[in-house]
A and B are shown apart, each in its own frame.
Chain A
Amino acid sequence: MSIKVYVPRDSSALSLGAHDVAAAISAEAQARQQDIQLIRNGSRGMFWLEPMVEVETAQGRVAYGPVTPDDVASLFEADFLHGGKHPLSLGLTAEIAWLKKQERLTFARVGITDPVSLDDYIAHDGYRGLHNALKLSAAEIVKQVTDSGLRGRGGAAFPTGIKWNTVLNAPAEQKYIVCNADEGDSGTYSDRMIMEGDPYVLIEGMTIAGLAVGATQGYIYLRSEYPDALHILNEAIDHAYHAGYLGENILGSGHRFDLEVRRAAGAYVCGEETSLLESLEGKRGLVRFKPPLPAIEGLFGKPTVVNNVISLATVPIILDKGGEFYRDFGMGRSRGTLPIQLAGNLKQCGLVEKAFGITLRELLEDFGGGSASGKPIRAVQVGGPLGAYLPESQFDTPMDYEKFSEIWAVLGHGGVVAFDTSVDMAKMARYAFEFCAIESCGKCTPCRIGSTRGMEVMDKVMSGQNKDENIALVRDLSDTMLNGSLCALGGMTPFPVLSAINHFPEDFGLDKAQVAK
């Protein structure tokens, strides 16, 4: 029997040369007349070890990494095909502490299976949720999701079950499920890892959502920066259609669900759900006034569920194991697990799925291993470009929606970006305004004009002109944006700006005492 060798096709692994490693392994195996089966899996999410190669042995999967093409010959010499020892040996993958400490529910299969193999998906508990859902009424499916306590993972943390219930109870001939795969936040990549590493779990989640609310058409709105995800999703959707998991008669149940991927076009604001719907309709991505909610009047004016990739990809395990199983993880009103993405200046960046409640410090130190540069970590931005910067004194905050609100911060989509002591927080505050100016949809004045004005004023602050007056102006502007913006792009840009000023006044030429007031 041929030996199974795994080399990830996740685009971050590819960005470090995984294709070349795969090619080198194939060539070397052929030269040595070794019978191997090369499987291109998703990533386990330990990116400092990518490209990470795994081999299936009698004891389980054994890992090696980070592997370069130059290491391949020596891996064969060391008989890695039978788990032989090598300087790059990491031992049994399942025993790697970094993975073992996690609670992988949504990410249960990522890195383990062949992402496009439907058989592999099913062999690893895939489609059990759908089978259960097909035995339930729509309202019963919604109840499971409500009971699970799942809140939207796209940023706003709105209870998914309540959203679904609204759509279920909105009478209409046509309803839609829209998956928000615009993942624009810097420091986030969990949506991408799911789509590249376990696309069927998203397809299954959307299908269940369709059954739950009576929608027969789904769209995945995928950012254009993710071409690999596009190909993998399309291939998986094709297989799902052929096997009867999508289409006019899902598994002979008489229920219909069609699914299509649509490419976005590089506008951050199109991650905002109403802007996204405009874009799907073929228009400029101008944010809509709410109400009406998309759940009542969404895509093409019809009731629409808009959910993030992770929210939807978490539905199958809820329907498989029950809402209560999922709800038992977490703390307070943050139930279940959060796929946290460690990014920026950390030694060990990667995907950590943990129950809510783990502290930022545990993430940065135990998982992240401290900064990559070796300098102290000075600031951490959680929740993307609209998230606050946290100083060291706040690192003991647990990952929990409410605990973060209390310190005027957000969890957002779970991105954690670490900066070492070389960071200039005034520059980061200016950048927050700049990003808002570049990405503003232009519909409201506080955001459209305020962001550009903010940038100009920050330039003055940074060149030392009338510092106190100009900082007061930044605060004023931030106030206007906070209170007068239609959506969170303008409305939350003050989070990074003001948190930078308040926690790191010295970078703005202010002293702490002055700011404390």
Chain B
Amino acid sequence: MLDDQQVRIDGHINALRTLPGALLPILHAIQDDLGYVPESSYPTIAHALNLSIAEVHGVVTFYHHFRTQPVGKHILHICRAESCKAMGADALEAYAKKTLGIDYHQTTADGAITLEPIYCLGNCACSPSIAVDERVLGRVDEKRLNQIIAKAREAA
């Protein structure tokens, strides 16, 4: 399993290393594939791009998008930005935390859902918005959130 992971990581690095500014494309490819960027990948990436491990670590941790730990089957992003706040995002956020029994950056005990804040999904004409994995959902109220959570659990 771990060897397989390393093989995949190597594959992504080799496919992208010659791009100018290759680090972000490589990190995206790894996270798209594995769901996160394992710290064990840093030495290989650093070596391929002629960087220090600390530099790779610095880049991974600078960006909110990259994760270094596996997450739940689905990620539920709640938009916390102004447009959604104007349409009740604060209450929706509190409701999501209460219903799931977790805070941001945590995963439900069944491993189904990780809760993350997000700052704007570009869906501000349909606030409040959330996203499940990559799918954005607009005008979400508590009832709709419950349906979405139930569906995510089913598909987990």
Contact = CB atoms under 8 A, between A and B. Distances in A.
Contacts, number: 148
Interface stretch (A88-96, A148-156, A336-344): A336-344
A10 to B, nearest CB: 10
Nearest to A435: B119
B125 A341 contact: yes
Nearest to A280: B21
Interface of A: 11-12, 14-16, 45, 47, 50, 183-189, 191-192, 223-227, 262-268, 279-285, 300, 341-345, 349-351, 372, 381, 385, 415, 417-420, 423, 427-428, 431, 435, 438-439
Interface stretch (B7-15, B55-63, B93-101, B105-113): B55-63
A473 to B, nearest CB: 24
Given A187-B82, A419-B86, A263 B24 contact: yes
Contacts of A268: 119
A476 to B, nearest CB: 25
A202 to B, nearest CB: 15
Contact of A282 (B59, B64, B118): B59
A341 B66 CA distance: 29
B83 interface: yes
Given A16-B139, A264-B24, A279-B24, 14 more contacts: A14-B136, A47-B125, A186-B124, A187-B124, A188-B122, A225-B120, A263-B24, A263-B25, A266-B65, A268-B119, A282-B21, A285-B62, A344-B87, A349-B127
Chain B interface size range: 35 or more
6 contacts: A12-B122, A14-B136, A15-B129, A262-B24, A264-B24, A427-B90
Given A183-B122, A266-B65, A285-B62, A344 B24 contact: no
Nearest to A184: B120
B22 interface: yes
Given A11-B136, A47-B126, A415-B124, A186 B28 contact: no
B121 interface: yes
A283 B51 CA distance: 10
Contacts of A342: 125
A438 B59 CA distance: 16
Contacts of A419: 86
B68 interface: no
Interface in B18-39: 20-25, 27-28
Contact of B124 (A341, A423, A427): A341
Contacts of A12: 122-123, 125-126, 136, 138
Contacts of B121: 225
A267 B126 contact: no
Nearest to B66: A265
Contacts of A225: 118, 120-122, 131
Contact of A349 (B21, B62, B64, B126): B126
A12 B58 CA distance: 34
B81 interface: yes
B73 interface: no
Contacts of A14: 135-136
B156 interface: no
B24 A423 contact: no
B22 A372 contact: no
**Residue of B59, B64, B82, B138 contacting most chain A CB atoms (<10 Å):** B82
Given A16-B138, A265-B24, A385 B82 contact: yes
B21 A281 contact: yes
A419 B136 CA distance: 22
Nearest to B130: A15
A345 to B, nearest CB: 4
Contacts of A47: 125-126
Contact of B123 (A11, A372, A417, A427): A11
A158 B90 CA distance: 36
Nearest to B87: A345
A14 to B, nearest CB: 7
